[in-house]
Amino acid sequence: MQAPRDDLAPPKDDPFTLEQLREFDGSDPSKPIYVSIKGTVFDVSHKADVYGPGKSYSIFAGKDGSKGLGMSSLKPEDAIPDYSELSEKDRKVLDDWHSFFSKRYNVVGRVTDHPQPLSSHL
């Protein structure tokens, strides 16, 4: 497992719509790769070997796949931002993913049109 980083930049609060986030899926090598969890946008570019096109977690690149992460699912239909129907157990898994990402990837913004209420993002 990847160790926490001590060189992360201060978090940014740049606004992204879900549509804008799609531009950062790794298909354009001149752009970074972003993954959003619970509306928080992370720069995962330095792990293109995991999140880049055709890689194991590319399903989450350029989108908020909170539901799929909470369910530990790599099915495209589960890689969606609405996690309102997750069980308590799956919400804990999702929270663990958010914590994992927060310790390893720079926060570059937030999703402004996330389907979950803002208070439940954190």
The CATH number of whichever domain residue 107 belongs to comes to: 3.10.120.10
- The model carries a pTM of 0.90
Residue 99 is assigned to a structural domain of this protein: yes
Confidence of residue 116 (pLDDT cuts 50, 70, 90): confident
Residue 27 is assigned to a structural domain of this protein: yes
Residue 42 is assigned to a structural domain of this protein: yes
Residue 8 is assigned to a structural domain of this protein: no
Residue 51 is assigned to a structural domain of this protein: yes
* Structural domain that includes position 109: 14-116
Number of domains in the chain: 1
Residue 4 is assigned to a structural domain of this protein: no
Beta-strand pair 34-37/40-43:
antiparallel
Task: With H, G, I as helix, E, B as strand and everything else as coil, classify residue 107.
Answer: strand
pLDDT tens profile 41-78: 999 999 999 999 999 999 999 999 999 999 999 999 99
Alpha carbons 17 and 88: distance in angstroms, whole number: 27
